[in-house]
Amino acid sequence: MKRPLLVVFFTVVLDLVGFGLVIPLLAFYAESFQATPLQVTAMMTCFSLGQFFAAPIWGQLSDRYGRRPLLLFSILMTALSLFAFGSATELWMLFLFRTLHGAMTANIAIAQACVADLTTPETRAKGMGLLGAGFGIGFTVGPFIGGELSHFGLAVPIYAAAFLSLLNFALGLAFLPETRLPGAASAARPISPTALLSALRHPRAGLLILLTFTYVFAFAAMESTFTLFAEHERGLQPKDVGRLFGAIGVVGAIVQGGLIHRLVKRFGEAPLIPAGILLVAVGLFFLPSAPVGAPLLTTFAVLAIGQGIATPALQSLVSRSVSADEQGFILGCNQSMGALARAFAPIAGGALFSSVSHAMPFYVSAGLLVLSAALALRATR
Protein backbone atom coordinates (compact mmCIF):
# COMPACT_ATOMS: atom_id res chain seq x y z
CA MET A 1 0.00 0.00 0.00
CA LYS A 2 2.99 2.32 0.26
CA ARG A 3 3.18 3.13 -3.45
CA PRO A 4 -0.51 4.15 -3.85
CA LEU A 5 -0.25 6.24 -0.69
CA LEU A 6 2.80 8.05 -2.07
CA VAL A 7 0.98 8.71 -5.36
CA VAL A 8 -1.92 10.27 -3.44
CA PHE A 9 0.61 12.24 -1.40
CA PHE A 10 2.31 13.72 -4.49
CA THR A 11 -1.09 14.48 -6.03
CA VAL A 12 -1.96 16.53 -2.94
CA VAL A 13 1.46 18.21 -2.94
CA LEU A 14 1.06 19.42 -6.53
CA ASP A 15 -2.52 20.51 -5.82
CA LEU A 16 -1.46 22.49 -2.75
CA VAL A 17 1.61 24.01 -4.40
CA GLY A 18 -0.72 25.41 -7.05
CA PHE A 19 -3.05 26.71 -4.35
CA GLY A 20 -0.16 28.15 -2.35
CA LEU A 21 1.14 30.08 -5.34
CA VAL A 22 -1.82 32.46 -5.06
CA ILE A 23 -1.71 33.06 -1.27
CA PRO A 24 0.90 35.87 -1.00
CA LEU A 25 -0.56 37.97 -3.79
CA LEU A 26 -4.32 37.51 -3.41
CA ALA A 27 -4.88 40.70 -1.41
CA PHE A 28 -2.57 42.70 -3.69
CA TYR A 29 -4.23 41.25 -6.81
CA ALA A 30 -7.74 42.05 -5.55
CA GLU A 31 -6.68 45.57 -4.53
CA SER A 32 -5.45 46.13 -8.10
CA PHE A 33 -9.17 45.87 -9.01
CA GLN A 34 -9.88 48.57 -6.38
CA ALA A 35 -11.17 46.05 -3.83
CA THR A 36 -11.48 47.27 -0.24
CA PRO A 37 -10.04 45.22 2.67
CA LEU A 38 -13.56 43.94 3.43
CA GLN A 39 -14.01 42.90 -0.22
CA VAL A 40 -10.64 41.13 -0.12
CA THR A 41 -11.75 39.02 2.83
CA ALA A 42 -15.18 38.51 1.23
CA MET A 43 -13.40 36.97 -1.76
CA MET A 44 -11.87 34.44 0.61
CA THR A 45 -15.39 33.79 1.92
CA CYS A 46 -16.57 32.97 -1.62
CA PHE A 47 -13.72 30.47 -2.00
CA SER A 48 -14.68 28.73 1.23
CA LEU A 49 -18.41 28.73 0.43
CA GLY A 50 -17.55 26.86 -2.74
CA GLN A 51 -15.66 24.33 -0.62
CA PHE A 52 -18.50 24.08 1.88
CA PHE A 53 -21.11 23.12 -0.70
CA ALA A 54 -18.81 20.87 -2.73
CA ALA A 55 -16.92 18.89 -0.05
CA PRO A 56 -19.74 16.53 1.06
CA ILE A 57 -20.73 16.03 -2.58
CA TRP A 58 -17.16 15.06 -3.55
CA GLY A 59 -16.93 12.72 -0.57
CA GLN A 60 -20.28 11.05 -1.25
CA LEU A 61 -19.65 10.70 -5.00
CA SER A 62 -16.26 9.12 -4.29
CA ASP A 63 -17.98 6.63 -1.98
CA ARG A 64 -20.30 5.72 -4.84
CA TYR A 65 -18.18 5.88 -7.97
CA GLY A 66 -14.59 5.65 -6.77
CA ARG A 67 -11.88 8.09 -5.72
CA ARG A 68 -9.84 8.25 -8.94
CA PRO A 69 -12.36 9.68 -11.48
CA LEU A 70 -13.64 12.32 -9.07
CA LEU A 71 -10.14 13.43 -8.05
CA LEU A 72 -8.98 13.70 -11.68
CA PHE A 73 -12.05 15.69 -12.73
CA SER A 74 -11.69 18.15 -9.85
CA ILE A 75 -8.00 18.70 -10.62
CA LEU A 76 -8.77 19.49 -14.27
CA MET A 77 -11.50 21.94 -13.27
CA THR A 78 -9.08 23.55 -10.81
CA ALA A 79 -6.77 24.36 -13.73
CA LEU A 80 -9.61 25.92 -15.73
CA SER A 81 -10.88 28.03 -12.81
CA LEU A 82 -7.36 29.33 -12.09
CA PHE A 83 -6.81 30.29 -15.71
CA ALA A 84 -10.13 32.16 -15.73
CA PHE A 85 -9.23 33.88 -12.42
CA GLY A 86 -5.93 35.11 -13.87
CA SER A 87 -7.69 36.35 -17.03
CA ALA A 88 -10.43 38.29 -15.19
CA THR A 89 -11.04 41.90 -16.17
CA GLU A 90 -13.67 42.89 -13.57
CA LEU A 91 -13.91 42.51 -9.81
CA TRP A 92 -17.10 40.41 -10.01
CA MET A 93 -15.23 37.90 -12.18
CA LEU A 94 -12.69 37.44 -9.40
CA PHE A 95 -15.51 36.51 -7.03
CA LEU A 96 -17.08 34.10 -9.53
CA PHE A 97 -13.92 32.18 -10.44
CA ARG A 98 -12.59 32.19 -6.89
CA THR A 99 -15.84 30.49 -5.82
CA LEU A 100 -15.43 27.87 -8.57
CA HIS A 101 -11.82 27.33 -7.52
CA GLY A 102 -12.95 26.72 -3.94
CA ALA A 103 -15.52 24.14 -5.07
CA MET A 104 -12.87 22.24 -7.02
CA THR A 105 -10.23 22.24 -4.25
CA ALA A 106 -12.75 20.68 -1.87
CA ASN A 107 -11.35 17.48 -3.41
CA ILE A 108 -9.09 17.21 -0.33
CA ALA A 109 -11.99 15.22 1.14
CA ILE A 110 -11.39 12.62 -1.59
CA ALA A 111 -7.67 12.51 -0.82
CA GLN A 112 -8.45 11.97 2.88
CA ALA A 113 -10.80 9.13 1.93
CA CYS A 114 -7.97 7.62 -0.17
CA VAL A 115 -5.71 7.66 2.88
CA ALA A 116 -8.46 6.05 4.96
CA ASP A 117 -8.77 3.33 2.28
CA LEU A 118 -5.04 2.62 2.37
CA THR A 119 -4.41 2.61 6.12
CA THR A 120 -5.47 0.64 9.19
CA PRO A 121 -6.91 2.32 12.29
CA GLU A 122 -3.48 2.00 13.92
CA THR A 123 -1.65 3.73 11.04
CA ARG A 124 -4.41 6.26 10.23
CA ALA A 125 -2.74 9.17 12.07
CA LYS A 126 0.52 8.48 10.24
CA GLY A 127 -1.33 8.50 6.91
CA MET A 128 -3.16 11.72 7.75
CA GLY A 129 0.16 13.15 8.92
CA LEU A 130 1.66 12.31 5.53
CA LEU A 131 -1.25 14.13 3.90
CA GLY A 132 -0.63 17.01 6.30
CA ALA A 133 3.02 17.02 5.24
CA GLY A 134 1.73 17.44 1.68
CA PHE A 135 -0.10 20.52 2.90
CA GLY A 136 3.09 21.72 4.57
CA ILE A 137 5.16 21.26 1.42
CA GLY A 138 2.45 22.93 -0.68
CA PHE A 139 2.34 25.91 1.67
CA THR A 140 6.14 26.01 1.76
CA VAL A 141 6.99 25.84 -1.93
CA GLY A 142 3.81 27.45 -3.27
CA PRO A 143 3.83 30.81 -1.45
CA PHE A 144 7.60 31.15 -1.88
CA ILE A 145 7.42 30.63 -5.66
CA GLY A 146 4.28 32.76 -5.88
CA GLY A 147 5.98 35.61 -4.07
CA GLU A 148 9.03 35.43 -6.33
CA LEU A 149 6.95 35.20 -9.54
CA SER A 150 4.86 38.22 -8.49
CA HIS A 151 7.87 40.34 -9.46
CA PHE A 152 6.91 39.66 -13.11
CA GLY A 153 3.25 40.56 -12.59
CA LEU A 154 0.50 39.66 -10.14
CA ALA A 155 -1.26 37.36 -12.65
CA VAL A 156 1.89 35.34 -13.45
CA PRO A 157 1.74 33.10 -10.33
CA ILE A 158 -1.94 32.42 -11.05
CA TYR A 159 -1.16 31.16 -14.56
CA ALA A 160 1.71 29.12 -13.12
CA ALA A 161 -0.75 27.52 -10.68
CA ALA A 162 -3.11 26.69 -13.56
CA PHE A 163 -0.25 25.04 -15.49
CA LEU A 164 0.75 23.07 -12.41
CA SER A 165 -2.81 21.76 -12.06
CA LEU A 166 -2.72 20.60 -15.69
CA LEU A 167 0.55 18.81 -14.96
CA ASN A 168 -1.04 17.28 -11.87
CA PHE A 169 -3.95 16.03 -13.99
CA ALA A 170 -1.59 14.41 -16.52
CA LEU A 171 0.44 12.68 -13.80
CA GLY A 172 -2.69 11.55 -11.99
CA LEU A 173 -4.10 10.14 -15.21
CA ALA A 174 -0.94 8.07 -15.61
CA PHE A 175 -0.21 6.98 -12.04
CA LEU A 176 -3.12 7.61 -9.65
CA PRO A 177 -4.71 4.29 -8.60
CA GLU A 178 -8.25 3.58 -7.49
CA THR A 179 -8.01 3.02 -3.74
CA ARG A 180 -11.59 2.06 -3.00
CA LEU A 181 -12.06 -1.69 -3.16
CA PRO A 182 -14.45 -2.89 -5.92
CA GLY A 183 -17.84 -3.80 -4.54
CA ALA A 184 -17.27 -2.04 -1.21
CA ALA A 185 -20.51 -1.11 0.47
CA SER A 186 -21.66 2.50 0.32
CA ALA A 187 -24.20 3.95 2.68
CA ALA A 188 -27.24 5.35 0.84
CA ARG A 189 -27.44 9.06 1.62
CA PRO A 190 -28.74 12.04 -0.33
CA ILE A 191 -26.01 14.07 -2.05
CA SER A 192 -26.81 17.34 -0.32
CA PRO A 193 -24.91 19.81 1.87
CA THR A 194 -27.79 19.54 4.35
CA ALA A 195 -26.45 16.05 5.12
CA LEU A 196 -23.95 17.93 7.29
CA LEU A 197 -26.65 18.11 9.98
CA SER A 198 -26.82 14.33 10.15
CA ALA A 199 -23.02 14.20 10.45
CA LEU A 200 -23.16 16.63 13.40
CA ARG A 201 -25.60 14.24 15.10
CA HIS A 202 -23.24 11.31 14.62
CA PRO A 203 -22.75 9.71 18.07
CA ARG A 204 -18.95 9.52 17.77
CA ALA A 205 -17.85 12.02 15.12
CA GLY A 206 -20.37 14.83 15.73
CA LEU A 207 -18.50 16.79 18.42
CA LEU A 208 -15.21 16.33 16.56
CA ILE A 209 -16.75 17.87 13.44
CA LEU A 210 -18.04 20.79 15.54
CA LEU A 211 -14.52 21.20 16.92
CA THR A 212 -13.22 21.39 13.36
CA PHE A 213 -15.49 24.41 12.84
CA THR A 214 -14.36 26.39 15.89
CA TYR A 215 -10.68 25.54 15.39
CA VAL A 216 -10.63 26.37 11.68
CA PHE A 217 -12.73 29.53 12.20
CA ALA A 218 -10.16 30.98 14.58
CA PHE A 219 -7.22 30.10 12.36
CA ALA A 220 -8.91 31.33 9.16
CA ALA A 221 -9.76 34.72 10.69
CA MET A 222 -6.02 35.25 11.14
CA GLU A 223 -5.11 33.70 7.81
CA SER A 224 -7.46 35.95 5.85
CA THR A 225 -6.22 39.18 7.44
CA PHE A 226 -2.50 38.54 7.87
CA THR A 227 -1.52 39.68 4.35
CA LEU A 228 -3.50 42.90 4.89
CA PHE A 229 -1.82 43.31 8.29
CA ALA A 230 1.60 42.65 6.79
CA GLU A 231 0.98 45.18 4.01
CA HIS A 232 -0.61 47.99 6.03
CA GLU A 233 1.20 47.58 9.38
CA ARG A 234 4.60 46.15 8.41
CA GLY A 235 4.99 47.42 4.83
CA LEU A 236 5.68 43.93 3.43
CA GLN A 237 5.42 43.07 -0.28
CA PRO A 238 4.08 39.84 -1.89
CA LYS A 239 7.58 38.34 -2.09
CA ASP A 240 8.14 39.06 1.63
CA VAL A 241 4.86 37.36 2.56
CA GLY A 242 5.72 34.42 0.29
CA ARG A 243 9.14 33.95 1.89
CA LEU A 244 7.61 34.12 5.38
CA PHE A 245 4.98 31.50 4.59
CA GLY A 246 7.65 29.40 2.89
CA ALA A 247 9.93 29.39 5.91
CA ILE A 248 7.10 28.51 8.26
CA GLY A 249 5.80 25.81 5.92
CA VAL A 250 9.07 23.94 6.48
CA VAL A 251 8.25 23.68 10.19
CA GLY A 252 4.75 22.39 9.51
CA ALA A 253 6.03 19.80 7.03
CA ILE A 254 8.59 18.48 9.52
CA VAL A 255 6.00 18.17 12.29
CA GLN A 256 3.31 16.53 10.14
CA GLY A 257 5.70 14.42 8.10
CA GLY A 258 7.52 12.67 10.95
CA LEU A 259 7.01 14.02 14.45
CA ILE A 260 3.24 13.49 14.60
CA HIS A 261 3.55 9.71 14.23
CA ARG A 262 5.89 9.48 17.22
CA LEU A 263 3.68 11.76 19.30
CA VAL A 264 0.53 9.77 18.52
CA LYS A 265 2.33 6.52 19.30
CA ARG A 266 3.47 7.94 22.63
CA PHE A 267 0.34 9.86 23.74
CA GLY A 268 -2.55 9.00 21.39
CA GLU A 269 -4.57 11.52 19.37
CA ALA A 270 -6.89 12.71 22.16
CA PRO A 271 -4.43 14.71 24.33
CA LEU A 272 -2.56 16.10 21.31
CA ILE A 273 -5.56 17.95 19.92
CA PRO A 274 -6.08 20.45 22.80
CA ALA A 275 -2.30 20.81 23.25
CA GLY A 276 -1.83 21.72 19.58
CA ILE A 277 -4.78 24.13 19.64
CA LEU A 278 -3.37 25.96 22.69
CA LEU A 279 0.01 26.36 20.92
CA VAL A 280 -1.79 28.00 17.99
CA ALA A 281 -3.58 30.30 20.46
CA VAL A 282 -0.26 31.40 21.97
CA GLY A 283 1.17 32.15 18.53
CA LEU A 284 -1.90 34.18 17.52
CA PHE A 285 -1.84 36.21 20.72
CA PHE A 286 1.76 37.37 20.21
CA LEU A 287 1.57 37.76 16.41
CA PRO A 288 0.39 41.43 16.25
CA SER A 289 3.21 42.65 18.49
CA ALA A 290 6.02 40.61 16.89
CA PRO A 291 8.49 42.78 14.92
CA VAL A 292 9.56 41.74 11.43
CA GLY A 293 12.49 39.32 11.55
CA ALA A 294 13.29 36.60 14.08
CA PRO A 295 10.40 37.44 16.50
CA LEU A 296 7.79 37.18 13.71
CA LEU A 297 9.37 33.97 12.40
CA THR A 298 9.39 32.48 15.89
CA THR A 299 5.74 33.36 16.43
CA PHE A 300 4.78 31.75 13.14
CA ALA A 301 6.86 28.69 14.02
CA VAL A 302 4.79 28.22 17.19
CA LEU A 303 1.66 28.48 15.03
CA ALA A 304 3.01 25.92 12.59
CA ILE A 305 3.98 23.45 15.33
CA GLY A 306 0.57 23.72 16.98
CA GLN A 307 -1.31 23.27 13.73
CA GLY A 308 1.00 20.45 12.68
CA ILE A 309 0.08 18.59 15.86
CA ALA A 310 -3.64 19.35 16.12
CA THR A 311 -4.76 19.01 12.49
CA PRO A 312 -3.67 15.43 11.62
CA ALA A 313 -4.60 14.18 15.10
CA LEU A 314 -8.11 15.62 14.69
CA GLN A 315 -8.50 14.24 11.15
CA SER A 316 -7.31 10.83 12.29
CA LEU A 317 -9.73 10.73 15.21
CA VAL A 318 -12.65 11.74 12.96
CA SER A 319 -11.73 8.96 10.53
CA ARG A 320 -11.30 6.34 13.24
CA SER A 321 -14.69 7.17 14.76
CA VAL A 322 -16.69 5.89 11.75
CA SER A 323 -17.00 2.68 9.75
CA ALA A 324 -15.35 2.05 6.37
CA ASP A 325 -18.49 2.76 4.31
CA GLU A 326 -18.85 6.20 5.96
CA GLN A 327 -15.28 7.42 5.35
CA GLY A 328 -15.91 9.56 2.27
CA PHE A 329 -19.16 10.97 3.63
CA ILE A 330 -17.90 11.86 7.14
CA LEU A 331 -14.53 13.17 5.96
CA GLY A 332 -16.35 15.18 3.29
CA CYS A 333 -18.65 16.65 5.93
CA ASN A 334 -15.66 17.39 8.16
CA GLN A 335 -13.97 19.15 5.24
CA SER A 336 -17.21 20.99 4.56
CA MET A 337 -17.45 22.16 8.16
CA GLY A 338 -13.93 23.51 7.89
CA ALA A 339 -14.93 25.27 4.68
CA LEU A 340 -17.99 26.76 6.39
CA ALA A 341 -15.71 28.15 9.08
CA ARG A 342 -13.44 29.61 6.40
CA ALA A 343 -16.50 31.17 4.77
CA PHE A 344 -17.58 33.14 7.84
CA ALA A 345 -14.15 33.78 9.39
CA PRO A 346 -12.78 36.12 6.66
CA ILE A 347 -15.86 38.35 6.92
CA ALA A 348 -15.53 38.46 10.71
CA GLY A 349 -11.78 39.05 10.47
CA GLY A 350 -12.22 41.72 7.79
CA ALA A 351 -14.86 43.54 9.86
CA LEU A 352 -12.63 43.51 12.95
CA PHE A 353 -9.64 44.63 10.86
CA SER A 354 -11.56 47.51 9.25
CA SER A 355 -13.80 48.64 12.11
CA VAL A 356 -11.94 47.91 15.37
CA SER A 357 -8.18 47.58 14.87
CA HIS A 358 -5.73 45.80 12.61
CA ALA A 359 -4.63 43.59 15.50
CA MET A 360 -8.09 42.64 16.78
CA PRO A 361 -8.65 39.57 14.50
CA PHE A 362 -5.62 37.90 16.08
CA TYR A 363 -6.68 38.54 19.69
CA VAL A 364 -10.26 37.36 19.07
CA SER A 365 -8.99 34.24 17.32
CA ALA A 366 -6.65 33.45 20.23
CA GLY A 367 -9.58 33.67 22.66
CA LEU A 368 -11.74 31.43 20.49
CA LEU A 369 -8.96 28.84 20.37
CA VAL A 370 -8.84 28.68 24.16
CA LEU A 371 -12.56 27.83 24.07
CA SER A 372 -11.85 25.30 21.31
CA ALA A 373 -9.27 23.58 23.50
CA ALA A 374 -11.95 23.20 26.19
CA LEU A 375 -14.33 21.74 23.59
CA ALA A 376 -11.56 19.37 22.47
CA LEU A 377 -11.27 17.96 25.98
CA ARG A 378 -14.96 17.05 25.91
CA ALA A 379 -15.01 15.85 22.29
CA THR A 380 -12.10 13.46 22.85
CA ARG A 381 -13.16 12.23 26.30
Write a three-state SS string for 257-301.
Answer: HHHHHHHHHHHCHHHHHHHHHHHHHHHHHHHHHCCCCHHHHHHHH
- Domain residue ranges in the chain: 2-176+195-379
**What is the pLDDT at residue 83?**
94
**What is the pLDDT at residue 191?**
44
- DSSP 8-state symbol, 173: H
| Residues with pLDDT less than 50, the chain | 185-191
Give CA 272 to chain center in angstroms. Answer: 19
Fold held by 2-176+195-379: Growth Hormone; Chain: A; (1.20.1250)
Cβ neighbours for 18, distance < 8 A, ≥ 6 positions apart: 78, 82, 138, 142, 160, 161, 162, 164, 165, 168
- DSSP 8-state symbol, 194: T
Query: How open is the CA angle 51-211-271, to the nearest 5 degrees?
Result: 130
List pLDDT tens digits, range 169-214. Answer: 998 888 888 887 655 544 444 445 566 777 787 877 888 888 999 9
**What is the pLDDT at residue 61?**
84
Contact between residue 341 and residue 212 where contact means Cβ atoms under 8 Å apart: yes
pTM above 0.85, yes or no: no
**What is the pLDDT at residue 252?**
74
**What is the pLDDT at residue 189?**
44
What percentage of residues in the chain have a pLDDT greater than 70?
92
**What is the pLDDT at residue 190?**
41
